[in-house]
Amino acid sequence: MRNVCIFLLMVCSLYACEEGCGNKEVNADLTISFPPSVNTPILEYIDTVKYLKLEDKDEALLAYVNKMVCREDKIYLGDFSNHKIVVYDTIGRFQYVIDRQGRGSGEYLQIKSFAVDDSCLYVLDTFLPGLHVFDNRTGAYVAKKKMAFIAWDFETLSRGRMIFTFCFFKDGHLPPSQPSYRLLITDNDLNIIQRLLPFEEEGDPIGKEVYFTSNDREVVFNWCMNDSFVTLDKANPDSLRRIRIDFGVNQIPESYRGDYDLIIGGSCNYIYETPVVDGDYIAMEVRKKDLDECYLFHVPSGQLLANPSEVSSPYMAFPDCCDTQGHFIEAIVNKEFYDEHVESGFPRADAEFEKHLEDGMALLIYKMKK
């Protein structure tokens, strides 16, 4: 992580924005050329790949993992459609589940997103607006915090602060009371203390489930159908760094931006899922028409790495998150998901692991080379 920060600071011009700062744009501080200029495969930068079985519990069954967070000694997996979050320790032992959909005290109607800090797990509910607080050691309910603004995703920062985002669509409009900024930073009581990235006039063509990813030092932010993303230091979030992918002739034309049909109908490339930054590496998923592919940017060398183009060759899947030990991590929720990986070229696990996946879940863990 230190190497990423040093490299970006060398190439970055810092951008700071206080409340009421006006319409300053964030300039690109690092541009990554696409497609990769070298044929070095991602696999040459992977040290080891391993599977971690997650303990079977009836209450822990998930249909899909929309968001995963690794923090300290726990792994948090959120299934938004089933309104629950399952928590394991780092060796796969079940800890607890948060499954409290309802209208009563200590209940939420929806999990729009969740985030974790040193002591609490927070659940964002936009149907009955508020932030529900749970003890991250036990899952016990603590309180509900009221919100004076709308948010679709959020992350925790240092010193009790949080960062929220809300993005309106093309031909839509902001509620009168909603600040006209993509990013809102709050104190622990959810009072807005900073506003970053003023909205463009046209709005976004479509929304996405996860706008933020994070590691132990940074938050990464990306909005839908875009060619860039932003990193913020958790300790100094008023300093933004914008990283842009130059897609060349497949760049989204300015006249297309904000128009879903034009972007989909053309041959435009754009960042699909929010990138995951881990140590010397940035994992990115790029959409090309209806195909999503994982790419890896190696910060020290400045190289963009790709998976092999041959069918049934070993490859790296786009990770759900990273931990503090230099690992990219992907959730495997069932046997069908695993079988798709194997059919696409991923190495097969042993028979015991495959048997476990018939009723259980697992993690796929990539350890990267230093």
Q: What is the pLDDT of residue 40?
A: 84
352's CB contacts (< 8 A; 6+ apart) are none
In total, how many domains does the chain have? 1
Q: What is the pLDDT of residues 283-321, one digit of tens each?
A: 999 998 778 999 999 999 999 999 987 766 678 999 999
Q: Is the pLDDT of residue 26 over 50?
A: no
Q: What is the pLDDT of residues 100-110, one digit of tens each?
A: 999 999 999 99
In a domain, 22, yes or no: no
Mean pLDDT, rounded, for 199-203: 73
Please give the radius of gyration of the chain, using alpha carbons only, rounded to the nearest integer.
20
Q: What is the pLDDT of residue 14?
A: 34
Specify the pTM.
0.89
Mean pLDDT, rounded, for 17-43: 69
- Going from the C-alpha of 103 to that of each of 74, 127, 270, 356, the distances in angstroms are 28, 10, 39, 36
Sign of the Cα pseudo-torsion (255, 261, 263, 267, in order): negative
Tokens representing 358 are 């018939």
Q: Is the pLDDT of residue 230 over 60?
A: yes
In a domain, 7, yes or no: yes
Backbone dihedral angles phi then psi of residue 342, each to the nearest 5 degrees: -65, -40
d(CA 89, CA 94): 7
CATH code, domain with 129: 2.120.10.30
Nearest Cα to Cα of residue 122 among 157, 149, 88, 89: 157
Q: What is the pLDDT of residues 329-352, one digit of tens each?
A: 999 999 999 998 888 878 889 999
Read off the DSSP letter of residue 152: S
Mean pLDDT, rounded, for 195-213: 87
Read off the DSSP letter of residue 169: B
In a domain, 20, yes or no: no
Q: Is the pLDDT of residue 208 over 60?
A: yes
DSSP 153-189: EEEE-STT-EEEE--PBTT----TTS-SEEEEEE-TT
> What is the chain's mean pLDDT, rounded?
89
Q: What is the pLDDT of residue 210?
A: 96
Mean pLDDT, rounded, for 225-254: 93
d(CA 230, CA 215): 14
Domain carrying residue 140:
2-15+27-368
